Structure 1
Amino acid sequence: MKSFLADFHIHSVLSPCGDLLMTPQNIINRSLELGLDLIAITDHNSAENIGVALELAKDTPLTIIPGMEVETAEEIHLICLFDTLEQVLLWKDKVYASLPDFKNNEEIFGPQLLTDQSDEYIGRVERLLLTATSLSISQVIKEVKSIGGIAIPSHIDKPNYSIISNLGFIPPDLDGFIFEVSSKSKVSKIIDKFSTIDTYSFISNSDAHYLQDIKRSMRLYMKAPKVKEIEWALKGVNGRKADIL
């Protein structure tokens, strides 16, 4: 098994709530400074900066997992991780088809910026990304899996946009699932609150909107930086494991 330092929840300038310095090149540079091996860029309901990020990271030791943070019809956030650009763009098209046709108001939400390989701003996504899709949580999980990815309910310990804050419980059909918590200390509190949740696995990430927020969040022991390997490491399958740092 190989060891990977990882952070699977990072927003770029495409997310309207992301800082203007969160360009793909800056994210890569900061991740390399921290000694990270593996990151996921997970913008709100979009993946239009992933292609540039993958190209910029090609000649570096850093592996980028194509991702997205989707908002369901229940206003629950889920991290979606994929192996390829083609997979995440296919998912992006499905998400765009399920978004309401609202134009982004930059004065309220902030700009949704696209960049090029020179790390310059080259355009905007005009439609509002920071809103709920018409896809239910069960639909998201099913669709992401059918494309070859995994969906992980985000920051379940937080008071907004989490499965616990919005539903008040963990649906039984999510038995054995992986959930994101904001820090290692939150795991025992969640388990104490929900007696059946000890059957689940946990991940923690930075949810970075600023460069200084990116961090060494996880150490995974697995064979390769692939989505299935990540899932197996988080679930402790066949000698793989994952530690929250």
Structure 2
Amino acid sequence: MSEKEGARGIKLHFDFHFHSCLSPCGDEAMTPATIAGMCKLSGLDAAALTDHNTCGNCAAFCQAAEAYGLLALPGMELCTREEVHIVCVFPDLERAGAFQEEVYRSLGEARNDPAIFGRQLYLDADDRVLGEEPRLLAGATAIGVYEVPALVERYGGAAWPAHIDRSSFSLLSNLGLWDPGLGFSLAEVSRNCPPDFVSGRRDLRGVPTITGCDAHYLEQISDAGQVMEVPARSREAVLAWLRRGGA
């Protein structure tokens, strides 16, 4: 395993941004079990499944991940009212499911057109199709970005803005700047983020960042490259590390 004992605790290689075939833009080869296996092959110790506006395949992912010895967190990539993407992760499936129900209530009535967006597939841990989600999961919810940190915390989770370096669906592209009043403890940048992007912006000074592969296709799952050090190999330890801004 790539997991190692450090001076202060356990070192975990991690990535918390993956999409399964339940996301309308996710390839159908991105089954929960296959993602878990690829994460293991890539050297990851901890990962989260974060489909658009849903946690519906997280149970299958967590079950498959356990078989591979991977620490898995149920999660979601929430699209806010401002069309800002926020990664949200939770300590257990029950609270992730409760958060999902709140998101579904705010998602609106638009229906998915598989001919345009692709099928939105629910699978089990053995890659059996359980059904399709009729809602269009790619849309914006009615949840405002300033509401997200407290809302996710109410369900025991942690949240951070996704791919802030991108020109669409990011906090900086849609709001223009990083506002400390938002209450996020860290931010995510993409794998292709320019090395001087964070240091070159005055509003990002002092903002910790992590990298998310945001994989929608199997070939986008990258080798482990970032490490956290936590006192225990547990979801709660990982969430505490994230809430502290990666400290």
TM-score, normalising length: structure 2: 0.89
Q: Return the offset for 1:169.
A: 1.1
1:170-229 deviation line (CA, Å, top 9, x unaligned): 123036620000138535322312x13222110101000011211224211112344553
Q: 2:17 aligns with which of 9, 24, 38?
A: 9
Aligned pairs for 1:129-168 within 5 A: 129-168=137-176
Structure 2 equivalent of residue 104 of structure 1: 112
Structure 1 equivalent of residue 27 of structure 2: 19
- In the alignment, does 2:61 pair up with 1:53? yes
CA contact (8 A) 1:181 1:187 kept: no
Q: Matched residues in 2 for 1:208 and 1:31: separation? A: 11
Structure 2 equivalent of residue 208 of structure 1: 215
Q: Matched residues in 2 for 1:235 and 1:74: separation? A: 23
SS of aligned partner of 1:58: helix
Q: Matched residues in 2 for 1:141 and 1:176: separation? A: 6
1:235–1:146 distance in 2 versus 1, CA, 3 Å: closer
Moved more, 87-96 or 207-216: 207-216
Q: Give the letter aligned to residue 27 of structure 1.
A: I
Over the residues paired in the alignment, what is the CA RMSD in angstroms?
2.0
Structure 1 equivalent of residue 205 of structure 2: 198
Q: 1:93 aligns with which of 84, 87, 101?
A: 101
CA contact (8 A) 1:150 1:227 kept: no
SS of aligned partner of 2:187: strand
Q: Return the offset for 1:85.
A: 0.4
Q: Return the offset for 1:232.
A: 4.9
Q: Matched residues in 1 for 2:79 and 2:193: separation? A: 25
Structure 2 equivalent of residue 76 of structure 1: 84
1:145–1:26 distance in 2 versus 1, CA, 3 Å: same
- In the alignment, does 2:228 pair up with 1:220? yes
Q: Give the letter aligned to residue 14 of structure 2.
A: A
Q: Matched residues in 2 for 1:52 and 1:231: separation? A: 21
Q: Matched residues in 1 for 2:164 and 2:82: separation? A: 14
Q: Matched residues in 1 for 2:63 and 2:14: separation? A: 19
1:123–1:236 distance in 2 versus 1, CA, 3 Å: closer
Q: What is the number of equivalent residue pairs in this alignment?
A: 238
CA contact (8 A) 2:185 2:242 kept: no
Q: Matched residues in 1 for 2:84 and 2:69: separation? A: 33
1:139-196 deviation line (CA, Å, top 9, x unaligned): 1221101111111100000000001000111123036620000138535322312x13
SS of aligned partner of 1:190: coil
Q: Matched residues in 1 for 2:23 and 2:225: separation? A: 21
- Which runs of no fewer than 5 residues in structure 2 stay unpaired? 1-8
Q: Matched residues in 2 for 1:219 and 1:82: separation? A: 19
Q: Matched residues in 2 for 1:212 and 1:38: separation? A: 19
CA contact (8 A) 1:144 1:151 kept: yes
- Which runs of no fewer than 5 residues in structure 1 stay unpaired? none
Q: Return the offset for 1:235.
A: 7.3
